[in-house]
Each structure stands twice: as C-alpha cells, then as structure tokens.
Amino acid sequence: MQRSYRSNFLNSKLKIILLVVLATTTIALTVMARPVTHLTLTAWSDRDDRQPLPAGTVDDASHLNQTKLTIKQVKSQPGVAEVILQSVLRDALSQGKKVAIAGSRHTMGGHTLYINGISLDMLHFNRMQFNPATKILTVESGAKWSDIIPYLNKRGYSVAVMQSNNDFSVGGTMSANAHGWQHNSPPFASTVEGFRLMLASGQVVECSRQENPELFSLVLGGYGLFGIILDVDLRVVPNGTYIAERFVIKSENYIDTYRQRVDGVGNIGMAYGRLSVAPESFLQEAILTTYRQLPQATHAIGSLEKQAESGVTRAVFRGSIGNDYGKNLRWQLEKIVGGEAGNHVLRNQILNRSSALFENRHQAETDILHEYFIPPKSLEGFLKQCRTIIPKYQGDLLNVTVRNVHQDNDSFLKYADREVFGLVMLFHQQRTPEGEAKMQVMTEKLIEAALAVGGRYYLPYRLHATPEQFRRAYPQAAKFFALKRKYDPNGVFQNYFYLKYGS
C-alpha cells in the first residue's frame, strides 16, 4: 500500500513537472513565434537587386544624383601624379570644363559631382608614412580609414577624430570636416597640422595655421571648392583598450546623464548616444554608451581581423523599415543585449567598422542621412519638435545617434561655434519624385526647428535647405563664397552644392 501511494505520488509529481515544462515551452514558442517570423521574412526579402549605373555615369551615397561625367583616376606616382593633375586642370580651363573632386562619394547632395564635368577619383592616391617621434601621420588624400587604421594599429596608434565608420577617405573627411564618437573634441579639423593643396592654377601651396591660414580654414569643411588636397599631416593618438558601459535613460535626462557619466569621469575614451525610434517610446528614451579606458592598455596592439557580419543584426535593423513592430522589437533588443557593455575592445576595433552591414540594397529605395547640431540646453526642446514633425510628414526614421562636439576654432564654414550635440538621423525613402518631395518638405521643417533653438544642420547631405535657411545657419557663407571666387576666379572647381548656394 505504501509503495503504491509513493508510486502514485511520484507519478503525480512527474505529471506536474511535465505540465509545467509543456506550458513553459508553449509560452516560450508563442512569445518567440512573432519575432522569429518577422526576422525570417525580413532576411528572406532582403535581396540585393541594385542595378549597375550606365557607362559614363556616377552617383553618390544618396543614390539620387546619377550624373554623366568623365572620370580621371589619380594614382600614387611620385613625381608624376602632380604633373598629371596640373595637366587635367589646364585642359579643364581651356575646354571650359568643371572639376569635381571625389573620394568614397559618401556625401548625398552632389558635393562630388558636376554634370558633364571631370571627376577626379582620388582613391588610389593613398600612400602614407608615420613619424613616431612627432606622432604625425603624413597621408595622401585618397587613403581610406580602412587602410589607415590597420597601418596605425601595427604601431600602437589610432586616429584622433574621425567618423564612426571606416569607409571614408581622408580628403572626404577633411572636406566635410567630420566628427565622430570622440567626445568633448572639436571636429576633425583640430587634428590637422597642415596639408599641401593644388590650386586651380596648378600651383601647389603649403597650408597650416601659420602658413596660408585663410586657405587652411577654407579647405577644412570646404567641400572641394578651393583645390585638390594632395597630402595631409595628421596628429594621432595612442591606441588603447576600453571597457564599454551602457545606461538606459529618458531622453530628457540625456544631458544631465552625459555630464555625470562622461564629463564627470576622467578616463572616458569615446562616447555616443542612441535615441529610440520605436513608436512606443519615440525619441523619449535613450541609451548612452561610454568606453572607459583601461590604464594599463596604452599603445595597445591587437588583432583587427574582420569580424563576421551578423545576419541577425542586419535583419533586426532592416526589419524596422516601415514597420512599427520591427522598430519596437529592435529597441527592446538594444536595451537588453545591444552594444558592447562589459566587453573589452580596442579603440581601433571600434573605429574599423564598415557601414555596409546596414546599407540599403534595394534599387527602388534609399536611406538618407540628416544631422542637426543643437546646443545642450535646447536638446530636449528640439526633440519635442521632432516628435511632432517627423510623424506629421510620415518620415520613416530608422536610427538616431547622438554625438558631442566641442567648439571648432579652425574651419571657416563651421557648424560648431560652441559646444553642440549632433543628432545623426537616418531616414528611409523611396527613390521616386514623390518620395523626394516628401523628404524635402520634412527636412525644411526640421531645419527650421533646429534654427529656432539656436542650432544648425550639417551640409554634406541632401540640398533641401532653402538658400535663406542656408544663410541663416551659416552667416559666414557670403564671405566663404567670395573667397572661393578669389582663389578660383575661373570657377574650375564646382559641384551641385556650390551651384545651389554659392554661384
């Protein structure tokens, strides 16, 4: 009897355990079914159907500026390259042709294009040399950061200021005066010690803060309108090992948290924020990521082997296009497992990342960047306007990164005349006249909102600002273009940006 009772008790207990396991499994499968289905369908439809451009045409990163022109490829040939460039400039002047200078073409407003003009492709003009005594890297303007970072890494050094990806050329970064996750730093111009510039006449001049200082300031953030950057002397910094930390906060607390977690900590190497684009918390939640430097890891040298791209990571990102569920799912995953919190990572590993993982690969669509520079006290006020403007104009916002930029004392056409926080916004749009028209209207409204709080917008993107908005954002523009005509009286160097705002 006792054995039978014990057997029945064990059987009952086993049944309960099995029921609990079954119920838990059922719940888990139910919970997982929707995200798994969503990500599977996203990955399945994420085919690359882009078509090659017609012969003799070029486009930029917008995929909206297909332009017919003649490409001249410039290669590193000591004693020869400069002679070839001078010949191209002479021919352009005699034939009435215009010259546009190009690196990786990551701008989006035709800054590297001119219809029926000559495009100088500088990407093979890429030699470099490092002087460890002065900590100066001398590099030709066509070199990409994806080449420079491994070169410096072998020597225990790193780039001081650059964009958050490695796809860009040095000349392009100079011409847009870029900035990145290097917090509490001025833009890239602050790291430039000097450069050689070929003017429209073919003359080569040295530019620095002491020699030809006016040209120095004009070329940094000058979008290729003053001459051909030949090579540049860059100040670099020791590589290091960081440990990442993440803080999930309300957007209204972003500045206070930044002051506490970044300004209040002396060993932060890099920092950036990300804002929610999920409908449930649209521009009201943020994640601040800091990279704290480990003291024993100066001049660190480590492997920069290319890491395998995660199909899941891409599916999570691309699955947010036009999909409220996808946007909410992505934000929840980012808050739980996103970023590198707790991991040790080299500074050079953070910088040596391509933007290709998340790029749009559909012929009928494109992703467009905006950036707005907002004074710290006005950040939440600007976001409040964005929460109304973007939904009103049906903007499909995919990502917002927040970056701190300190005052720029070097470039002429400066966007940071004081400390600002840059909001880098990535929008998805259709490659149709209707899609472009909707984007333009929304962009003008966002620019107006930025100007209203004492902010500015960044110039490398679509030329959607009205000339009046451009002049208000950059009051020094009239003198900038007057000096362009002084140094290039025949207007040899041209692009769509100059056509709209300067000519």
* Count of beta carbons in the 10 Å neighbourhood of residue 87: 12
Contacts of 458 (CB under 8 A, 6+ apart): 370, 371, 372, 373, 415, 422
- pLDDT number for residue 17: 61
List the beta bridge partners of residue 204: 198
* Count of beta carbons in the 10 Å neighbourhood of residue 270: 24
Q: Is residue 230 part of a domain?
A: no
Residue 29 banded pLDDT, cuts 50, 70, 90? very low
Q: Is residue 21 part of a domain?
A: no
- Considering the chain, what is the average pLDDT of its residues? 92
Dist CA 57 CA 71 (whole Å): 9
Exposed, middle or buried by CB within 10 Å (0-12, 13-18, 19+), for 101?
Answer: buried
- pLDDT number for residue 401: 98
Query: Residue 432 sits in a domain of what CATH number?
Result: 3.30.70.2520
Q: Is residue 471 part of a domain?
A: yes
Q: Is residue 235 part of a domain?
A: no
Residue 35 banded pLDDT, cuts 50, 70, 90? confident
- pLDDT number for residue 11: 60
- pLDDT number for residue 309: 58
Nearest CA to 424 out of 480, 323, 355 is that of 355
The domain of 354 spans: 241-477
Dist CA 346 CA 338 (whole Å): 18
Nearest CA to 500 out of 445, 463, 462, 446 is that of 463
SS3 32: helix
Task: State the total domains in the chain.
Answer: 1
Q: Dihedral sign for Cα 365, 423, 106, 493, please.
A: positive
Dist CA 498 CA 110 (whole Å): 9
Q: Is residue 154 part of a domain?
A: no
pLDDT in tens, 267-312: 999 999 999 999 999 999 999 999 999 886 556 667 776 655 568 8
pTM for this structure?
Answer: 0.92
Q: Is residue 234 part of a domain?
A: no
Dihedral pair phi/psi, residue 437, rounded to 5°:
-65, -40
Per-residue pLDDT for 503 more than 90? no
- pLDDT number for residue 343: 81
Q: Is residue 503 part of a domain?
A: no
Q: What single DSSP character describes residue 465?
A: S
pLDDT in tens, 360-370: 999 999 999 99
Q: Is residue 144 part of a domain?
A: no
Where in 251-395 does DSSP place strands (E)? 268-275, 285-293, 344-346, 365-374
- pLDDT number for residue 6: 53
